[in-house]
Chain A
Amino acid sequence: MALAATMVLASVLGTANAYAEDKPVALIVSQGGLGDQSYNDLAYTGFERALKDTGIEGKPVESKEVVSQATEILRRASDADFGLIVDLEYAHGEPMLEVAKDYPDTKYVILNQVREGANIASVLFQEQEGSYLAGTLAALVTTDTSIKGINPKPVIGVIGGTKSAGIDKFIAGFIQGAKAANPDVMVKVAYSNTFGDPAVGLQMAKAMIEEGADVIYHVAGGTGMGVIQAAKEAGVYAIGVDTDQDGIAPGNVLTSMVKHTDIAVEKVMKDYAADKFPGGQTISLGLKENGVGLSEMKYTKELIPAPILEKVETAKQDILSGKVKVWNVVDQGYPDFMK
């Protein structure tokens, strides 16, 4: 009886004193681990910034068995009274659904996919907006023969990893941006049907280059490494995706459409700290939130005439001001120009 009373008292005091934001944050690092100089490292910088700015405690968790131990790790962190669990591993979508149900007081974040649940926040990136700028840049570059390696033909290309709405979201934005900059530009579209085969990417890009394409955007993961290789061999340009890939073939990667995972992680953690956690919602990060954008073009900035860069900047401002609406295939279905 006395014990029960103490427990009730403790729980009352607990709710009165301990705000959700006092509980620590766990960051579950995806396959590849920290030190990948890519997705995980980028997200980790956002995690560290948020910890520093909010004063919350937090721990990153890495495991070679991150895929097979999905629910075990999520449950352990939930049991250990972590208040927020930010999960970078894509394969944790389904396991998170299962675990989140059992821990209604714990908050979860998943990236690049939508998972339903009152205590789950999903983060999506408006990749079509960044792709629009890539398309604008590509269309302007492809007709400017003063740039090294550019032929007079107004032909550019894009290679997707698979024919799906998630990939066509990028491609539609790219085409829209290209057509807006130059209605006469021809955009060749192809799908590699694999995300992991650079040889296929190399072949497809070579075929496009033979048909006159001199800027090729890839949305094809590892297959895209072949696209970049083909651009390097032919002395033309590739456009990278997801992370800043400009350094893979300096001078031959025109730019990269970067997804700022760090901004995403930082934002949800700060919302959590401010007691504004967007549970049950899908956060959409676009140009405005600096969630997507073009790379800084470290190796190519000098090659491109200033008027072109200015026009790309204008296009960006038009999107930010709402003057231009970029088509989102996932939300809106296919636009006429892709049917």
Chain B
Amino acid sequence: MSAVASSARAAPGIGWRDIALAIAPLVLALIVAAVVLGIAGHNPLEVYWLLLKESFGGTKRVAATVAASTPLILTGLATAVAFRTGVFNVGVEGSLLVGGLAAAFVGFTYVDLPAALLLPLALGAAVVAGTLWMLVPAVLKARLDVDEVVTTLMLNFIAVSFTAWLVNGPLLAPGSANSATPMVVEAARLPKLMPPSTLNAGFLIAVALLVLYWLWGRGTALGLETRLAGLNPRFAIASGINVPMLIVKMMLLSGAIGGLAGGIQALGTVNRFVVGFSPGYGFTGIAVALLGRGSAIGIFLAALLFGALATSGATIQLFSDVPIEIVNILQGTVMIFAVARFSWLLKNRRGGK
């Protein structure tokens, strides 16, 4: 403990309390899951050691973890961008789905284009689709103050059904008995960083966006305005900030990043759109944003944590009898403790009105 405190003193800016608060959800979750593991007859320390080895033991495993984190960095960022303005956007999942399908569509339709054209076009389609998906809830929220939690959540269900219908019918791969589009052509695929791992250039895009987010939050007028609007909308309005317009802008930006997350997943990892495309990246993104406390580095670390659980949770089953449910409990508990901050956020939001 004293080591933590002294290192914190050496680096002012981030206090040890911040660090402790940030990792508290993880520590609490590990304790809770340890109890569950113990009751189920497993040795928690052995299981945790195995999880650690399967997520970070060796370059291949690190690559797998980072690959699994990539969509979560983006959905976490998409959520954080909206949270910052005081908008509780839970619709990133929907943007991700329509973005993924849009990118896949471009990737298997315009097959004659060269990679230099096709890849940006496909990613661009993902961004546009994700943005448009957020347009209605953004306008409803800004103009009529319709609760965005309800509209964006409902739009997720529509996105699930809408994309499923498209890949079951009009966009179904010819001859396929499975609900999937054709594969995107080679030219539309994001380059792999460490073949044969699925880790791809999408990770670099995600990190670049995180850096931009960090710079933007610190040094731009819009960054300050969103912060003010998020903390106290009435004060922001009194200061001459056009809050409704700001809300529309930030929700669209959130949708754009969510769409991009889907596009990267479609062009970098899955190489098509298929039913089951997203295991809920948008929802995990909410936990990532909350656990990361909206900061760039926090989002990165939280995404890495959930990415690690996703990869190692699957592969430890090869080496132990720990069922996936235990890992799901661990992941769920981290989320609950991360979302415990949610009440604080809500209080802020209501109090501001």
Partner of B280, one of A64, A82, A197: A64
| B295 CB–A CB distance under 8 Å | no
A94 / chain B contacts, CB cutoff of 8 Å:
183, 271
| A279 CB–B CB distance under 8 Å | no
The reply to whether A195 and B179 form a contact with Cβ atoms under 8 Å apart is: yes
The reply to whether B164 and A196 form a contact with Cβ atoms under 8 Å apart is: yes
Given contacts A31-B276, A194-B169, is CB(A62)–CB(B196) below 8 Å? no
Partner of B314, one of A65, A91, A99: A65
The reply to whether A66 and B276 form a contact with Cβ atoms under 8 Å apart is: yes
Q: How far is the CB of B199 from the nearest CB of chain A, in Å? A: 9
| A193 CB–B CB distance under 8 Å | yes
State A82–B315 Cα separation when bound (angstroms). 12
The reply to whether A65 and B279 form a contact with Cβ atoms under 8 Å apart is: yes
Given contacts A72-B314, A76-B64, A194-B168, 18 further A-B contacts (CB under 8 A): A59-B317, A64-B280, A65-B279, A65-B314, A67-B277, A68-B270, A68-B279, A72-B68, A72-B197, A75-B196, A79-B60, A90-B177, A161-B168, A194-B165, A194-B169, A195-B168, A196-B164, A197-B165
B179 / chain A contacts, CB cutoff of 8 Å:
195-196
Within 8 A of A (CB), among B266-296: 269-271, 274-280
B68 / chain A contacts, CB cutoff of 8 Å:
65, 68-69, 72
A194 / chain B contacts, CB cutoff of 8 Å:
165, 168-169
| A112 CB–B CB distance under 8 Å | yes
B165 / chain A contacts, CB cutoff of 8 Å:
194, 196-197
| B302 CB–A CB distance under 8 Å | no
State A99–B60 Cα separation when bound (angstroms). 14
A69 / chain B contacts, CB cutoff of 8 Å:
64, 68, 198, 310-311, 314
Partner of B315, one of A61, A64, A70, A112: A61
State A184–B71 Cα separation when bound (angstroms). 58
Partner of B178, one of A68, A82, A91: A91
Closest CB pairs A-B (n = 5):
A63-B314, A64-B279, A62-B324, A90-B178, A31-B276
Within 8 A of B (CB), among A87-121: 90-91, 94, 98-99, 102, 112
The reply to whether A67 and B175 form a contact with Cβ atoms under 8 Å apart is: no
Binds B, one of A162-170, A293-301, A309-317: A162-170
Q: Can you show 6 pairs from A to B with CB atoms below 8 A apart?
A: A31-B275, A67-B274, A69-B68, A76-B315, A77-B315, A197-B165
Partner of A77, one of B276, B318, B328: B318
Q: How far is the CB of A295 from the nearest CB of chain B, in Å? A: 21
| B352 CB–A CB distance under 8 Å | no
| A71 CB–B CB distance under 8 Å | yes
| A26 CB–B CB distance under 8 Å | yes
The reply to whether A165 and B168 form a contact with Cβ atoms under 8 Å apart is: no
| A149 CB–B CB distance under 8 Å | no
| A278 CB–B CB distance under 8 Å | no
| A319 CB–B CB distance under 8 Å | no
| A186 CB–B CB distance under 8 Å | no
The reply to whether B177 and A112 form a contact with Cβ atoms under 8 Å apart is: yes
B271 / chain A contacts, CB cutoff of 8 Å:
94
Q: How many residues of B contact A (CB 8 A)?
A: 43
State A66–B276 Cα separation when bound (angstroms). 8
Within 8 A of B (CB), among A169-205: 193-197
Q: How far is the CB of A162 from the nearest CB of chain B, in Å? A: 6
State A281–B271 Cα separation when bound (angstroms). 27
State A93–B315 Cα separation when bound (angstroms). 19
Partner of B313, one of A63, A75, A166: A63
State A162–B279 Cα separation when bound (angstroms). 26
Partner of A62, one of B71, B168, B270, B314: B314
The reply to whether B174 and A164 form a contact with Cβ atoms under 8 Å apart is: yes
Closest residue on chain B to residue A89 by CB atoms: B276
A62 / chain B contacts, CB cutoff of 8 Å:
314, 317, 323-324
| B188 CB–A CB distance under 8 Å | no
| A212 CB–B CB distance under 8 Å | no
Contact with A along B167-208 (1 / 0, CB 8 A): 011001011111110010000000000001110000000000
Given contacts A63-B314, A65-B279, A112-B177, is CB(A162)–CB(B172) below 8 Å? yes
Q: How far is the CB of A67 from the nearest CB of chain B, in Å? A: 5
The reply to whether B277 and A71 form a contact with Cβ atoms under 8 Å apart is: no
The reply to whether A71 and B314 form a contact with Cβ atoms under 8 Å apart is: no
State A90–B279 Cα separation when bound (angstroms). 16
| B319 CB–A CB distance under 8 Å | yes
The reply to whether B318 and A72 form a contact with Cβ atoms under 8 Å apart is: no
State A26–B317 Cα separation when bound (angstroms). 9
Q: How far is the CB of A139 from the nearest CB of chain B, in Å? A: 26
| B67 CB–A CB distance under 8 Å | yes
Closest residue on chain B to residue A98 by CB atoms: B196
Q: How far is the CB of B51 from the nearest CB of chain A, in Å? A: 14
Given contacts A65-B68, A68-B270, A164-B174, is CB(A33)–CB(B315) below 8 Å? no
Q: How far is the CB of B63 from the nearest CB of chain A, in Å? A: 9
Within 8 A of A (CB), among B58-79: 60, 64, 67-68, 71
Closest residue on chain B to residue A112 by CB atoms: B177
Given contacts A67-B276, A102-B196, is CB(A91)–CB(B317) below 8 Å? no
State A95–B119 Cα separation when bound (angstroms). 21
| B265 CB–A CB distance under 8 Å | yes
Q: How far is the CB of B103 from the nearest CB of chain A, in Å? A: 14
| A12 CB–B CB distance under 8 Å | no
Given contacts A196-B168, A197-B168, is CB(A82)–CB(B318) below 8 Å? yes
| A308 CB–B CB distance under 8 Å | no
Partner of A72, one of B169, B180, B198, B265: B198
| A60 CB–B CB distance under 8 Å | yes
Contact with B along A196-229 (1 / 0, CB 8 A): 1100000000000000000000000000000000
Closest residue on chain B to residue A93 by CB atoms: B178
Within 8 A of A (CB), among B301-347: 310-311, 313-315, 317-319, 323-324, 328
A70 / chain B contacts, CB cutoff of 8 Å:
270
Partner of A26, one of B265, B274, B277, B318: B318
State A70–B168 Cα separation when bound (angstroms). 21
Of the candidates A66, A72, A94, A99, the one having the most CB atoms from chain B within 10 angstroms of its own CB is A72
